[in-house]
Amino acid sequence: MSAVSTLSTGHIGLNVTELERSLGFYRDTLGFRLLGEGKEEGRRFAFLGQDDALVLTLWQQAEGAYAPAAAGLHHLAFTAGSVEEVRAFEERLRAAGVDFAYDGIVAHGEGAASGGIFFHDPDGTRLEISVPAGAEDAPAPSGAAPTCGFF
């Protein structure tokens, strides 16, 4: 088999405990569009995207909250178009009572231009909305270590 160099992230699938609660969060708070849904008892799921592109699938099959110390997903990161957009998401998320790891926008590390906000979804899954530049003056809570790695 030859090496493949065209791989990119397709979509992310998350197990959730309550589909309606998570659907409300990702659709209404983060702005993803519902592309499709399975409502059969024991097989509930939702496809979420931007435009017509699938970004995230929610599967109602978790029996408990996200476990940060377990193997698997560390965090899910979204990229915004500007620092102002990150700030707007922060306002929406705070108004919705979302749990944040840090106060405001933070840099990805000391001296980094990239940074963003770090927070949790209704099941405790760690999330990030960041930008590649514009956070030069923001604090770096983990010093030189990656902020996104230790929240």
Assess contact for 143 and 109: CB atoms under 8 A.
Answer: yes
- The per-residue pLDDT string of the chain (151 residues; one tens digit each, 9 = 90 and over) reads 566 678 888 999 999 999 999 999 999 999 999 999 999 988 999 999 999 899 999 999 999 999 999 999 999 999 999 999 999 999 999 999 999 999 999 999 999 999 999 999 999 999 999 999 999 999 999 888 999 998 8
pLDDT for 1: 52
Burial (Cβ within 10 Å: 0-12, 13-18, ≥19) of residue 18: middle
pLDDT of 2 reads 60
> What pLDDT was estimated at residue 65?
94
Q: How far is CA 43 from CA 3, 18, 90, 122, in A?
A: 36, 12, 33, 20
